[in-house]
Chain A
Amino acid sequence: MDKSTHQHADTLTSQVEKATGVILSHCYQCGKCTAGCPLNEEMDVMPNQILRMLQLELPGYEDKILSSLSIWLCLACDTCYSRCPQEVKLSQVMDFLRQESIRQDKVNPKAKDILSFHKAFLDSIKLNGKLHEVGLTIDYKLRSLNLMQDVQLVPSMMAKGKLTIFPHQVKNTKEIAKIFKRISEAKQE
C-alpha cells in the first residue's frame, strides 16, 4: 500500500504531509488524542476527526478544518502525541494548520483574541528582541479591544516589582527585525 495518504499534489492533506513529515495514514482512529485532549469539550471538531478529514479528503474538508476553532484552541500540550500508539505528531499538524489558516484568511472569528495575542507577542519581540510584558499587554488590548481586562492587577503587579515600564532590549534591535525580514522574504520567493 502506498505509504502516504494524498493522491493529489496540491491538497491540504499533501501540504500537511510535506511540511510536517507526518504520514496521515498511520492514524487508525483509536481516538486517544481526543480522549486525552484537555480542551476536547470546547472544540468544534475533535482532534481525531481532523485527522480523519485529512485522510478522506471529502469535498469541503479543507475549509472545515482551516476555519475550525479547534486548531486555535489546541494548546500544543502534546498529550495527544505522547499517547498516540502510532506516533502521529498531531501538534505539528496543528501548527501547520494554524499557519495555513492565516495564509488563506480563514481564521475562525471566535479565535480572534487568541490570534491577536500571538501577533502582539511576536511584534513585541520584533521590536525589542525580548518580550516586554507591559508593551504586549497594551498591544493586545488595542487589538482585541478588551481594554479593561486585568487592569485591576496593575497596582499589585507594580508593587510586587513584576512590571517593567521600559522594555529590556537586545543591543541591536535591528538584528532581530532582520531575522523576521529574512524569513518573510524567503516565504515570498
Chain B
Amino acid sequence: MSLDIRHLTSDFRHNNMRIGFYPGCSLEGSSKEYSDSLFAVAEKCNITLEEIKDWSCCGASAAHNLDHDLALALPARTLALAGKQGLTEIVVPCAACYSRMATSKNEISGNVATRQKIEKYIDLKLSADIQILTVFEFLQKYIFPVVDEHIVNKLNQKAACYYGCLYSRPKETAAIVQIENPMEMDVVMAKAGATPIEWAFKTECCGAGFTMSRTDIVAKLSGKILEDAADRGAESIIVACPMCHVNLDMRRPEIKKQLKKDINIPVLFITQALGLSMGISADKLGLNKHYVPTDKVVNCMVKLEA
C-alpha cells in the first residue's frame, strides 16, 4: 500500500501560526458532531482554530446550478473576510464548502476581470493568497507531528475510507493525489490503528445534493457504495463530508429498501475515528448522534500498552 503524505511539511511550527476555520452550514446543524469531533481532536493537541467572523454560506450544490457568478461570489465573500481577519490558512472540513471555495479561489486568481467583477459584487477586497485545507490536510499538517503521544487506543477493525466526489474531482481543485484511488484518509485511519481496505467505490458519487429532491437516486447510489464496502468486509465507513454522511447514515432505511437487505456498517467522520484512538469519549465525539449505531467501532478498540 502506498502512503502519500503530501502535506507533511518540514517547516512545521504551529505554535505561532493562526489557523482559520470555516464551519459551513452543515456543521452548525445536521453534522454538528463533525465540528465537535474536530475541535476535540485539535484541543487534545493544543491547537486552536479561529472561526472566520461573520462567514456566510458557500452556495453548496445549489448556486452553481443556477448562477455561475453567484457560485463564485458567495465563497469569495468568506475568503475576503478571512483575509480581513489576517488569516492566511483556513480549514474547511465540509467537502462541498472546500470544493466551492477552491473553485472560487482558482477562477478569481486566474483572471483579473473575474476578480474585479466578483469584488464589485461582494463589495469587499480579496486578499492575495489564502490556503484552503481539507480536514485530512489539516490532520496531516498539524495533528500528525504531535499525535503519537496522544494515541492510546488501536481501532482494531477494517475501515473503508470513502472520499466521494468533491475531494477527488475536478483535478483543478482535487485535494488528493491519485484521482481514482486516493490514500490521504487511509493514512489517517492507519494512524488510528485501523486497517484501511482496498475497495472499488472510494470516489463514486453518493447522490449528494439529491438527498431530498431525488431520494430514490441517493438510495441507489449510496446503496452501491455500502454494498461494496460490506462485500469486502469493512466494519466501518469513514467519511469527511456531511452530505456523504447524511446519505450513508440517515438514508439507511431508504437504502435498505433499495438493496432489499440490511447492512448495518456504521459511518464515522474521520475526526471521530481519530478521536476514539486518542481516547476521547464517544459522547464528546458525538457518536450518539448517528442513525446507524456506532457501538461496534467503540467496542473493537484495544487499549495500547503505555
- Confirm or deny: A3 has a beta carbon within 8 angstroms of a beta carbon on chain B: no
B214 at the interface (CB under 8 A from A): yes
- The reply to whether B61 and A76 contact each other, CB–CB distance below 8 Å, is yes
Interface contact A114-B213, CB-CB below 8 Å: yes
Say yes or no: A163 contacts B291, CB within 8 Å.
no
Determine if B207 is an interface residue (Cβ-Cβ < 8 Å): yes
B39 proximity list for chain A (CB < 8 A): none
Q: Is A35 an interface residue (CB 8 A)?
A: no
Contact (Cβ within 8 A) B74 A161:
no
When the two chains form their complex, are residues A125 and B56 in contact, meaning their CB atoms are under 8 A apart?
Answer: yes
> Which chain A residues border B28 with CB–CB below 8 Å?
130, 164, 168
Contacts of A98 in B (CB 8 A): 65-66
From the candidates B55, B117, B204, B288, name the one contacting A160 in the complex (CB within 8 A): B288
Residues of chain A within 8 A of B152, CB atoms compared: none
CA distance A19 to B57 in the complex (A): 25
Q: A186, B56: Cβ atoms under 8 Å? A: no
C-alpha spacing A98/B32, complex, angstroms: 32
B212 touches A150 (CB 8 A): yes
B56-A75 in contact (CB<8A): no
B301 at the interface (CB under 8 A from A): no
Set of chain A residues within 8 Å of B168, measured between Cβ atoms? 82
> B220 CB to closest chain A CB, in angstroms?
9
- Tell me the dominant secondary structure on chain B's binding face: helix
Q: How far is the CA of A102 from the CA of B67 in the complex (A)?
A: 10
Task: Determine whether the beta carbon of A125 is less than 8 Å from that of B57.
Answer: yes
Assembled-state Cα–Cα distance A168/B55 (Å): 11
* Chain A contacts for B212, CB-based, 8 A: 117, 137, 140, 149-150
CA distance A160 to B61 in the complex (A): 25
| A156 CB contact (under 8 Å) in B26, B121, B215, B291 | B291
Q: Given that A42-B217, A82-B171 are contacting pairs, would A75 and B57 also be in contact in the complex, using a CB cutoff of 8 Å?
A: no
Among A77, A132, A175, which residue has its beta carbon within 8 angstroms of that of B205?
Answer: A77
Contact A96–B123 (Cβ < 8 Å): no
Complex interface residues of chain B between 39 and 74 (CB less than 8 A to chain A) = 54-57, 59-70, 73-74
The verdict on B130 contacting chain A, using a C-beta distance below 8 Å, is no
Chain A 4-53 interface residues, beta-carbon cutoff 8 Å to B:
19, 38-39, 42
Q: Are A79 and B169 in contact (CB under 8 A)?
A: yes
How many Å lie between the Cα of A75 and that of B204 in the bound state? 11
Q: B19: CB under 8 A from chain A? A: no
Could you say which interface size class chain B belongs to? Answer: 35 or more
* Set of chain A residues within 8 Å of B213, measured between Cβ atoms: 113-114, 116-117, 140, 144
Q: Is the CB of A133 within 8 A of B54?
A: no
Are the C-beta atoms of B32 and A162 separated by less than 8 Å? yes
Contacts of B74 in A (CB 8 A): 125, 179
Chain A residues, CB < 8 A from B25: 130-133, 168
Min distance, Cβ A144 to any Cβ of chain B, angstroms: 7
What residues on A are CB-neighbors of B120 within 8 Å? 182
Q: Indicate if A104 sits at the interface (CB-CB under 8 A).
A: no
B contact residues vs A (CB 8 Å cutoff): 25-26, 28-32, 54-57, 59-70, 73-74, 77, 117, 120-123, 165, 168-171, 179, 204-205, 207-210, 212-215, 217, 221, 250, 288-289, 291
Query: Apart from A99-B68, A118-B66, what 20 extra A-B contacts exist at CB < 8 Å?
Result: A38-B204, A75-B165, A119-B62, A125-B63, A133-B29, A137-B212, A149-B215, A156-B291, A157-B30, A160-B289, A162-B30, A162-B31, A170-B56, A175-B123, A176-B77, A179-B70, A182-B120, A182-B121, A186-B69, A186-B117
A binding-site residues for B, Cβ under 8 Å = 19, 38-39, 42, 73, 75-79, 81-82, 89, 91, 95-96, 98-99, 102, 113-114, 116-119, 121-122, 125, 129-133, 137, 140, 144, 149-150, 153, 156-157, 160-164, 168, 170-171, 175-176, 178-180, 182-183, 186
